[in-house]
């Protein structure tokens, strides 16, 4: 082609070519890859076999078994939002001080707890279970409305003698299995926001 001839159509496979709708093939390819990567990342996070997260350090080695089975506490006695809130909440200092402002047992962990309460040091309890930030989960909807027991999602935490040492990611497969068993929607938008 000489200087007087217009250039021909782009060669096949030219990543800069435009499609008939006016977009760039390269932009569409990049957007598709980004969407695939984000989806794969979210799915692998939710269905990973080893869902354990980073180590969790609690102010004391809390014994759920003594409180739940021994003393008959309900989850809501220490987790104020577990029946009516979106998040279950963690016990505040006053909740623990109602029983532990003075020693009532002889264990080393209780002595540590009483000393912290008496000194005014804050009890900085850490969550043990997590959902990714794009997941909407309402404890009220599951516990109060659907009538699920806490153990349905949290397993045997009520029988544990020490808190788990790692943050547990709740798994999408478990949620979907439960929804199927109870005939509840499996629509992505019910939980993914």
Query: What confidence tens digit (pLDDT) does each residue in 146-172 have?
Result: 999 999 999 999 999 998 888 888 899
Instruction: Please say whether the beta carbons of 67 and 162 come within 8 A.
Output: no
22 pLDDT more than 80:
no
Backbone φ and ψ of 77, nearest 5°: -65, -30
Query: What is the structure's pLDDT at 168?
Result: 86
Q: Which domain holds residue 166?
A: 54-90+125-191
Of residues 144, 18, 116, the one with CA closest to residue 60: 116
Once rounded to an integer, what is the mean pLDDT over residues 67-72? 95
Question: CB-hemisphere CA count at 13 Å for 131?
Answer: 19
Query: What is the structure's pLDDT at 28?
Result: 62
Asked if residue 155 belongs to a domain, the reply is yes
More confident residue, 25 or 93: 93
More confident residue, 116 or 41: 116
179 pLDDT more than 50:
yes
Instruction: Give the Cα separation of 177 and 14 in Å (integer).
Output: 46
Asked if residue 141 belongs to a domain, the reply is yes
Token pair belonging to 13: 């496979």
Asked if residue 77 belongs to a domain, the reply is yes
Domain count across the chain:
1
Asked if residue 97 belongs to a domain, the reply is no
Distances (CA, A) of 98 to 21, 103, 117: 68, 11, 10
Asked if residue 151 belongs to a domain, the reply is yes
50 pLDDT more than 90:
no
Asked if residue 104 belongs to a domain, the reply is no
Query: Tokens 């009520």 — which residue?
Result: 158
Instruction: Give the Cα separation of 60 and 163 in Å (integer).
Output: 9
Instruction: Give the Cα separation of 117 and 123 in Å (integer).
Output: 8
Asked if residue 106 belongs to a domain, the reply is no
Q: Would the pTM count as exceeding 0.95?
A: no
């Amino acid at each position: 082609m000489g200087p007087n001839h217009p250039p021909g159509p782009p060669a096949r496979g030219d990543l800069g070519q435009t499609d008939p709708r006016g977009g760039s093939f390269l932009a569409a390819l990049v957007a598709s890859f980004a969407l695939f990567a984000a989806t794969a990342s979210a799915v692998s996070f939710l269905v990973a076999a080893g869902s354990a997260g980073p180590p969790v350090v609690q102010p004391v080695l809390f014994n759920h078994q003594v409180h739940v089975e021994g003393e008959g506490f309900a989850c809501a006695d220490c987790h104020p939002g577990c029946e009516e809130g979106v998040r279950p909440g963690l016990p505040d200092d006053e909740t623990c001080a109602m029983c532990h402002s003075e020693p009532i047992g002889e264990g080393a962990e209780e002595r540590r707890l009483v000393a912290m309460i008496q000194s005014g040091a804050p009890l900085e309890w850490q969550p043990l279970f997590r959902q990714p930030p794009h997941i909407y989960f309402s404890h009220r909807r599951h516990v109060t409305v659907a009538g699920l027991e806490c153990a349905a999602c949290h397993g045997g935490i009520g029988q544990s003698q020490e808190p788990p040492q790692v943050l547990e990611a709740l798994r999408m497969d478990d949620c979907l299995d439960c929804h199927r068993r109870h005939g509840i929607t499996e629509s992505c938008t019910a939980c993914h926001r």
